[in-house]
Amino acid sequence: MNPSLKLLLLLLISIEVSFTDRLTANVILAVILLGLLVSQRLKWRQLLWALCLPLIPGVAVMITLGAYSGHNWFLAWVMLSRFYVYVLAGSTLIFTTTNLELVRSLEQNAHLSSKFAYGTLAALNIFPTIRRSVSRIQVAGQMRGVTLHWWSPTLYFKAILAALRWSDQLAQAMEMHGFREGKARTAAETIIIRKRDWLILFVSLVILQGLLIAFP
């Protein structure tokens, strides 16, 4: 499916789920999304991560709603199922589309400004380097007789300083590779929206309404 439309669909699902409280519909949605994720042959660790992530905030909210304020256990289950729908929708997007595909599609199909699109992409691509750098700063500290714990402000101050410098360097580097804000660009890979993509979007939306109306 076209990445921009996929993003739109998943956003619409999340919004609709936020404004309705249908437990069965949420569960069915979560199961469908989970099915999609499983069909992507993820590593079991990634899948487990996607399943455990909503559990902590979900259960916390559930206990608050169910045991303390109002003793509404139905609403509590709805909240938990909502968390699952959000996280699974996000995971579906992340694991079925690469960052580059999404950015290219948003630039070509949704006409997102290229500055925003590629600026974000550059930041995402630099992220592993930043992470490595933070752990390097820790090692560098130990080699100089300074212990920087993960809560040490110095560590984050250094990381922020590094990130600021990098943002400046990246802007210059993008310019030296021919990028100019607002200038027209061509595309190495043309991404089109096919009839099939629209069809999937509309059919999915109709099914979504059906689910939300038909099930409690």
Which residues lie near another protein (CB under 8 A)?
99-100, 118, 121-122, 125, 128-129, 132-133, 135-137, 139-148, 154, 158, 161-162, 165-166, 168-180, 183-190
Residue 189's nearest CA partner among 104, 117, 121, 122 is 104
Min dist CB 24 to another protein, Å, is 41
d(CA 161, CA 149): 18
Q: In whole angstroms, what is the distance from residue 211 CA to residue 186 CA?
A: 42
Among candidate residues 66, 89, 93, 92, the one with its CA nearest the CA of residue 78 = 66
208: tokens are: 């979504």
Min separation Cβ 2 and another protein, Å: 18
Closer to another protein by CB, 68 or 111: give it.
Answer: 111
Q: For residues 63 and 161, which CB has a smaller minimum distance to another protein in the complex?
A: 161
Helix (H) or strand (E) holding 96: helix 73-96
Q: How far is the CB of 106 from another protein (least distance, A)?
A: 15
Minimal distance, residue 3 CB to another protein, in Å: 16
Q: Considering the complex, state which of residue 34 and residue 122 has its C-beta at the smaller distance from another protein.
A: 122
End-to-end CA, the chain: 30
Alpha helices in 97-152 (DSSP H): 99-108, 114-143
Of 137 and 201, which CB lies nearer to another protein in the complex structure?
137
Distance of CA 6 to the CA centre of its chain: 12
Closest contact distance (angstroms) between CB of 167 and another protein is 10
Q: 161 or 203, CB closer to another protein? A: 161
